[in-house]
Structure 1
Amino acid sequence: MEHARPLPTYLVHRYHGWKATAYTENQAWYRRLANEGQHPRAMVISCCDSRVHVTSIFGADQGEFFIHRNIANLVPPHEPDGNQHGTSAAVEYAVTALKVAHVIVMGHSNCGGVQGCMDMCTGKAPALEEKSSFVGRWMDILRPGYERVKKIENEDKRRHALEKQAVIISLENLMTFPFVAEAVEKGTLTLHGLWHEIGEGGVEQYSPTTGGFTPI
């Protein structure tokens, strides 16, 4: 592929630094992971946003989390229509092959994808309405969540509420997957919804009892 180029120098330097320190100091652990395969306890579905780093937030080691990232941490409903579904495939692999005990959906503050959904739903982003927009069609998943919060007058509060709806919608959609519902009913899998406040470092968790989020 003629357009591929060597890594930027700063990334090469960082790699060599990691290989000489973190890898060398934990070489036996890395080799064990390579030889024995992965056995993560949890799957985390988080946003692509570069500011959200779930392994740092939870102090996770290599091999502990099976992580899938996409725009606005969304899970689509179960739709085996023959199209390519990266998120659905990741969920299927985590639950049926890796047998994770937990699936965690983590939303966050100031989410650009959620803001895009708001703009699209209010007519401020006509480009996202185009059938050719990958982001727009992906954010269609969140439209039901916008319908739930659209009457909130304050725009910042409405966006925060929609960020949390992205988590709730994803939890609801997870339960449309037969293998997820079966594992939850058997008690071998639990679902968790989190929202991360980037600036303050806070994490809130969803409570199905109250229908809201509370600090952990």
Structure 2
Amino acid sequence: MHNFPQHLLDGHANFMAGRYAREKERIRDLAEIGQTPSTMIIACCDSRAAPEMIFDCGPGEAFVLRNVANLVPTYQPDGGQHGTSAAIEFAIKGLNIANIVIMGHGRCGGIKAALNPDYSPLDEGDFIGKWMSMLGELPGQLGTNKMMTASEQQTALERISIRNSIRNLRTFPYVAALEAEGKLAVHGAWFDISTGELWIMDQSGDFIRPTF
């Protein structure tokens, strides 16, 4: 007997009968030769914004890192345990990734917490609060603008946070070096959960709707 969630078992059965059956040879090749994705996607762990679904990625096509609010810390080789930094290091040094996409999304719970002056920790450890402190003074600066509604402030901070994470990403010396050599491109994107729209960051830092 077990108490493993039945809906996950049902989903796996559908996977085996559907996608795995269709892509069996490709998946087996990936198992033998390893992964060679060209793009890393740093996204939020929100269950509504799965990069593989949004970009219709197949097995082995994207190296995906998900954390609360898709934040990237600055380069801190201080001997600590840095999961996000470790994934970035592996993507660049181990997989020779050519593109890094930092993708935020609408209605992000982490961003909402950062903007909430009455935020109270879910637990005494307050891992969320400490993690979101990476945004520094940005939430407070937006919160003082009384001409913006709460939803406007949240969307603005979701996008500003992407730019902030890109700035932090460039503090990794090998990221900056590879960008300068034209061997790595860093991108920003924002996904609207309610409409499915994708907005991408242009060279000036503005978010635009791409044309197909």
For the criterion TM > 0.5, the same-fold answer is yes
Give matches, 1:10-49, under 5 Å: 10-49=7-46
Pairing partner for 2:110 from 108, 113, 134: 113
Mapped to 1, the partners of 2:110 and 2:167 lie a distance apart of 19
Aligned to 2:143: 150
- State the one-letter code of the partner of 1:127: P
- 3-state SS, counterpart of residue 204 of structure 1: strand
| Aligned with residue 196 of structure 1, among 187, 191, 197 | 191
Alpha-carbon shift at residue 179 of structure 1 (Å):
1.0
Structure 2 residue 130 is matched with structure 1 residue 137: yes
| AA matched with 1:176 | T
Shift of 1:147: 4.5
Residues 18-97 of structure 1: matches in 2 within 5 Å? 18-97=15-94
| Partners of 2:40 and 2:195 in 1: CA distance | 24
State the alpha-carbon separation in 1 of the partners of residues 87 and 40 from structure 2: 9
SS in 1 for 2:18: helix
> 1:40-85 deviations in whole A, cap 9, x for unaligned?
0100000000000211221211100000000000001111111111
Deviates more, 1:52-61 or 1:17-26: 17-26
Q: Distance in 1 between matches of 2:10 and 2:140?
A: 48
User: Are 1:186 and 2:173 matched, yes or no?
Assistant: no
**Superposition RMSD in Å:** 1.7
Deviates more, 1:159-168 or 1:199-208: 199-208
How far apart, CA to CA, are the structure 1 residues paired with 2:187 and 2:141?
21
- Normalising to structure 2: TM-score of the pair? 0.92
2:121 is paired with a residue whose SS is: helix
Q: By how many angstroms is 1:19 displaced?
A: 1.3
Q: Give a deviation string over 1:167-206, Cα, whole Å, max 9, x none.
A: 1111000000011111111110000000111111111112
Give how far 1:17 is off. 2.3
* TM value normalised by structure 1: 0.90
| Distance in 2, Cα, partners of 1:170 & 1:94 | 16
Q: Does the CA-based 8 Å contact 1:117-1:143 persist in structure 2?
A: no
Residue 145 (structure 1) shift: 2.8
Pairwise CA distance, 1:114: 0.2
In the other structure, the counterpart of 1:212 is 206
What letter is aligned with 1:215? R
Offset at residue 25 of structure 1 (A): 2.2
Any gaps of 5 or more consecutive residues in structure 1? none
After superposition, give the CA deviation of every residue in 1:90-140 in whole Å (9 maximum; x if it has no partner).
011101110111000000000000001111xx2x11437x98311010001
Q: How many residues align?
A: 207
* Range 24-33 or range 39-48, more displaced: 24-33
Aligned to 2:121: 127
- Aligned-residue offset at 1:152: 2.7
